[in-house]
Amino acid sequence: MVHFIGAGPGAADLITVRGARLLGEADVIIYAGSLVNPALLDYKKEGCTVYDSASMTLEEVIAVMRETQARGGDTVRLHTGDPSLYGAIREQMDQLDELGIPYDVTPGVSSFSGAAAALEAEYTLPDVSQSVIITRMAGRTPVPEGEKLSKMASHGCTMVLFLSTGLLEEVERELMEGGYAPDTPAAIVYKATWPEEKVCRCTVSTLAQTARENHITKTALITVGGFLGDRYDRSKLYDPAFTHGFREASK
């Protein structure tokens, strides 16, 4: 059996209870060493074999899974955050299907949730933004033409950018081309929930400068939008003047 597990955003105690249990039962762990906090390996049992996938190809990863399955063992494939976001798990699952190797997926806390916690912010504020766009800037790996960053920015809602810290000059240009004003609030969250977590608040037009000044080149999320400001409407959910299925308006 192969278990794909989301390691969470960084802190070792933010993995799910199920994920921690499966880590402790695994005969083999393949983890994304360039992204996953190595402290999570403390959950492993004695005798467990560990592989760092940072230098491995897809074929090498599958070979380890196949070998472990052949001898009746369980493999944990430990991905950063939640494996459904930029985890490249589909290609692994398709190959396992072809080989007849069973697998399951345990979700994890995404780093975009970790970033919101670090910012002490709510992405979806009434009359500010009720949508969150999770995307990235096109670089060495392209994005579909319809998902060009400037097109995504045209919606003006909350945005969270993965895998874009090294391209911030282009990010600034695309965001402003899409309609964000230069002074739109933004923030760079470096290693959200890790011990070395760092939050740098800025604006859309100062993202690149802020990253340079703080020596941030990777392992960070870019957040953009009015949710980082101080203006929003009160939620109807707890408004005494609003009736819903569990409460009548009191005034």
| Residue 236: per-residue pLDDT | 65
**pTM of the complete model:** 0.90
Mean pLDDT of the chain: 94
198/184 Cα distance (integer angstroms): 20
The whole-angstrom separation of Cα 37 and Cα 53 is: 13
Domains of the chain (ranges; CATH) run: 2-106 (3.40.1010.10), 111-228 (3.30.950.10)
Structure confidence by residue, pLDDT tens digits, 145-163: 999 999 999 999 999 999 9
8 A C-beta contact, residue 157 and residue 131: yes
Q: Please report which confidence band the pLDDT of residue 223 belongs to, taking 50, 70 and 90 as the band edges.
A: very high
CA distances from 14 to 26, 80, 82, 134 (A): 19, 11, 11, 21
Rounded distance between C-alpha atoms, residue 40 and residue 60, angstroms: 22
What pLDDT is recorded for position 245? 60
Kindly report, residue by residue over 171-219, the tens digit of the pLDDT: 999 999 999 999 999 999 999 999 999 999 999 999 999 999 999 999 9
d(CA 188, CA 223): 6
Kindly report each contact of residues 178-182 with a partner whose C-beta sits within 8 Å and lies 24 or more positions away, as own/partner.
Answer: 178/149, 178/150, 178/151, 178/152, 178/153, 178/154, 179/153, 179/154, 180/153, 180/156, 180/204, 180/224
Residues 4-58 pLDDT 10s: 999 999 999 999 999 999 999 999 999 999 899 999 999 999 999 999 999 999 9
- pLDDT confidence band for 140 (50 / 70 / 90): confident
Length of the chain: 251
Q: What is the pLDDT of residue 152?
A: 95
pLDDT band at 248 (very low <50, low <70, confident <90, very high): low
Is there a contact between 204 and 174 (Cβ–Cβ < 8 Å)?
no
* Residue in the block written with tokens 């009434």: 126
The pLDDT of residue 43 = 97
What contacts 223, CB < 8 A, 6 or more positions away? 115, 116, 119, 121, 158, 159, 160, 161, 186, 187, 188, 189
The answer, yes or no, to whether residue 91 has pLDDT greater than 70, is yes
